[in-house]
């Protein structure tokens, strides 16, 4: 894993056995897919009642290269419908079962064994390079609507980042970054 695992507890007391169980499940995810970028797990108690029968929620975010994070999060009612008396162990097992399924589905998509489209043709747009900051490894694209979209050097799939200049036409996919929309999967438009 490129970024250290994050395990947090919210409105619930930290427990060593819970953290150890989560780390074991994460190790299993890494065996399923050895290119994981990051894994963040949040254990929280959203509500309580007199009998303490509302199970905790385990939210998992798994970062994989070139794709949005795979996210698993379900409401306590999901566990209450599935298990007679759900507890922390059930919450952990169920969340990681779903995460494993999502990761296996993602691997199948990468291998091209499923019918799910991997190309972004329908989501691809034509834009122009508006600004370049090669020393900072990023630039901005002008969209057809006239807005600016940030893109990083690593988003460029074809072409030479250092030779891009204002006005060069590129194809891109609009994605959601940490601070808002960004351009990803940027390809320099081939000349006719």
Mean pLDDT of successive 10-residue stretches along the chain, which has 192 residues:
90 92 95 91 82 80 86 75 78 90 86 56 83 90 86 88 91 80 87 65
Name all domains of the chain by residue range, CATH numbers in brackets.
6-111 (3.30.160.100), 121-188 (2.40.50.140)
pTM of model > 0.95: no
Rounded to whole angstroms, the Cα distance separating 183 from 171 reads 9
How far, in whole angstroms, is CA 23 from its chain's centroid?
Answer: 19
56 burial class (0-12, 13-18, 19+ CB within 10 angstroms)? buried
């Amino acid at each position: 894993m490129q970024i250290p695992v994050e395990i947090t507890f919210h409105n619930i007391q930290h427990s060593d056995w819970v953290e150890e169980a989560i780390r074991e499940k994460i190790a299993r995810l890494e065996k399923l897919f050895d290119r994981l970028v990051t894994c963040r797990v949040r254990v929280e108690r959203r509500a309580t009642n007199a009998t303490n029968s509302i199970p905790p929620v385990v939210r998992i975010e798994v970062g994989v290269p070139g794709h949005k994070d795979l996210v698993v999060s379900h409401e306590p009612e999901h566990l209450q419908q599935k298990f007679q008396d759900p507890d922390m162990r059930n919450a952990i097992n169920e969340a990681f079962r779903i995460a494993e399924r999502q990761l296996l589905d993602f691997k199948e998509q990468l291998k091209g064994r499923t019918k799910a489209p991997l190309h972004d043709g329908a989501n691809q747009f034509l834009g122009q390079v508006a600004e370049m900051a090669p020393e900072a490894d990023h630039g901005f694209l002008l969209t057809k609507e006239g807005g600016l979209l940030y893109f990083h050097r690593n988003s460029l799939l074809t072409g030479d980042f250092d030779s891009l200049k204002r006005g060069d036409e590129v194809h891109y996919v609009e994605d959601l970054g940490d601070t808002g929309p960004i351009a990803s999967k940027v390809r320099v438009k081939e000349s006719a």
